[in-house]
Amino acid sequence: MSDTLYIQTDMNVEVDHPRVHLQDVAKLSGSDSKIVDKCRVLPVTDLTPGKPGRYVVSIIDIIRDIQKKNPDLEVNHIGEPSFIITYEAEEHEHAFFSWVKTAVVCLVSFFGTAFSIMTFNTDVDISKLFSQIFEQMTGQPAPGFSILEITYSLGIGLGVLFFFNHFGSKKITQDPTPMQVQMRMYEDDVNSTIIEDVEREGAQSCGHR
């Protein structure tokens, strides 16, 4: 009975060194621990040092290299037929600049959100609407700042808090936040597009031979 090697890969794997081995991009398991250890250090690719980027790798090439060295080994792959290696060179950024970038992002988000809320309120003329509601309910002219404005302001803050399911480092529930869901969908779309573009270019180049 031949030995079996199981390889599991994600669609996108990040590395910070140019010399990439199989253990850097995949999880390995098998019936023979010695074979698994040998396959862990199998070279996958050599990237250009100091040149960050995204590189598409076909699992077929990896399986072919494994079976060249282990002809009797049965290889089972779990995951996408092609995956992306994201190479990011190590950066030693000063802590001060990290805090500055964080502060800038927070300020832009805060004032951008405030501007969006204000333009929406102006567009629908929410102040006039509240004045009409107050006058209809009480029979008196609105003072300009009533319980309606107070509860509306509190409701916006609480609504944003519950919608994003996140406050500081704590989550209200264990569900992923809408931002996490959207970012995951965006990452999946980007990864799929990169892989499809590379495969399409490869198919076109083969067709022109």
What is the per-residue pLDDT across 168-190, written as a single tens digit (0 to 9) for each? 667 777 777 777 888 889 888 98
Alpha-helical (H) ranges within 41-177 are 59-69, 95-124, 126-138, 147-164
Alpha-carbon distance of 197 to 192, in angstroms, equals: 9
Q: Report the predicted TM-score, pTM, of the whole model to 2 decimal places.
A: 0.63
Segment 27-38 shows an average pLDDT of 90
Which CATH number is associated with domain 4-87? 2.60.480.10
* The pLDDT of residue 203: 57
* The pLDDT of residue 168: 63
Give the pLDDT band of residue 70 (cuts 50, 70, 90).
confident
DSSP tag of 167: B
Q: What is the pLDDT of residues 93-111, one digit of tens each?
A: 677 788 888 899 889 988 9
* The pLDDT of residue 208: 44
Question: Do 15 and 87 touch, CB atoms closer than 8 A?
Answer: yes
- CATH 2.60.480.10 domain position(s) in the chain: 4-87
Q: Cα–Cα distances in Å, from 179 out to 136, 160, 163, 164, 168?
A: 40, 12, 10, 7, 14
Give the pLDDT band of residue 209 (cuts 50, 70, 90).
very low
Segment 19-39 shows an average pLDDT of 91
Share of the chain above pLDDT 90, in %: 20
Average pLDDT, the chain: 83
Segment 48-69 shows an average pLDDT of 89
* The pLDDT of residue 24: 92
Confidence check: pLDDT of 122 > 50: yes
